[in-house]
Structures are given as C-alpha cells and as structure tokens.
Amino acid sequence: MNEFVEQFKSLGDATRMKIIRLLCEARKDLCVCEIMDALEVSHCNISRHLKILKTAGIVEERKEGRWVHFSIANPESTFHKNLLLAIGNLPAELFTAEIERLKLRLSLREDGKCVDGLKSEKWMAALKLIRAENINRYDKRRMQDRR
C-alpha cells in the first residue's frame, strides 16, 4: 500500500513530472546532465529527484563507467502503468520548452551517447540560438494576442 502512496508522492512534484515526461518522449535513456539542461534545474536537484523516482520504482538506472543512464522502469503493476499513461497523455503544450531543449540537447550526442556533461559550452551556444528564436516567436505571439 505504501509503495503506491509513494508513487503518487514521487510524481507530485512538477520537476519530477517533467522528468518522467521527458523520459517518455525521448524513448531512450537520459543521463543527469541531459535532464538537467533540458529542465534548467541544478544537477544536484536532478540527481535527488531521480533518486526519489528510482526509490519509488518509477525509473531505473544503468551505469556505464562514470555515466548513469536513467529510463522509465518497466511497469510492475497496472497502477504504475496508469500513472505513466496519465503523464504521457498530458497535452504536449505543457512541456514545449522542456521537450525542445531536450531535443536540442540530444542532438549534441555522438554515437548515441552524451559527450558533453556539465557546463558544456556547446550547450550554452546552442541554447542561445533557440533562446533568440523563442524571443522572436514570443514577440510574434504577443503581437497577435493584442489583436
């Protein structure tokens, strides 16, 4: 019983919900630094959130040297499945920025692997590009909203 309560609790946080959604959207393992960059949350908090999710059985990890790859855990119960469905079926608009950043971040991978780690200048540069783009979009949307 408490395991189920724990699963609800583990998802009752916006950052952790976003992490799960990103893992669902990516359909592949993600490492801490990729999630960190996509969500723009400090690495230690991502690490902690992932620990909570792992303890609750929502995600699992695979170590490869110093790298740790996280993925959605195979559901052991219909309960777990329903929770994943709940998050997976939320409107994509709620996660637009995060998903966009994740895609960009994943595009930096080489041979399907994260090579950039923390404080990547490549990432900062890529981020500047989409930020400029988003500001343009934002301005256009504001102009339209005023009509």
Partner DNA sequence: TTCACGTATTCACTTATGTGCATATAATAG
Partner DNA sequence: CTATTATATGCACATAAGTGAATACGTGAA
Nearest CA-CA partner of 116 in 33, 44, 43 = 33
Burial state string for 113-146 with b = 16 or more CB within 10 A and e = fewer than 16: ebebeeebeebeebbeeeeeeeeeeeeeeeeeee
CA dihedral sign of residues 128, 134, 140, 141: negative
1 binds, among a second copy, DNA, none (CB under 5 to 8 A by kind): a second copy
Q: Are 10 and 56 in contact, with CB atoms under 8 Å apart?
A: yes
Supply 21's token pair. 């959604």
Q: State the Cα–Cα distance between residues 95 and 62, nearest whole angstrom.
A: 25
Q: Which residues from 86-145 bind DNA, rule CB under 7 A?
A: 114, 116-119
Which of 51, 64, 76, 85 contacts a second copy by CB under 8 A?
85
Binding status of residue 45 toward DNA by CB under 7 A = yes
CB closer to a second copy out of 14 and 129: 14
Binding status of residue 86 toward a second copy by CB under 8 A = yes
Binding mask 4-43 for a second copy (x = CB under 8 A): xxx-xx-xxxx--x--------------------------
Which of 17, 24, 25, 43 contacts DNA by CB under 7 A?
43
User: 35, exposed or middle or buried, with CB in 10 Å at 0-12, 13-18, 19+?
Assistant: buried
Give the footprint of DNA on this chain (CB under 7 A). Answer: 9, 12-13, 15, 31-33, 41-45, 47-52, 61, 63-69, 114, 116-119
Give the footprint of a second copy on this chain (CB under 8 A). Answer: 1-2, 4-6, 8-9, 11-14, 17, 78-79, 82-83, 85-87, 89-90, 94
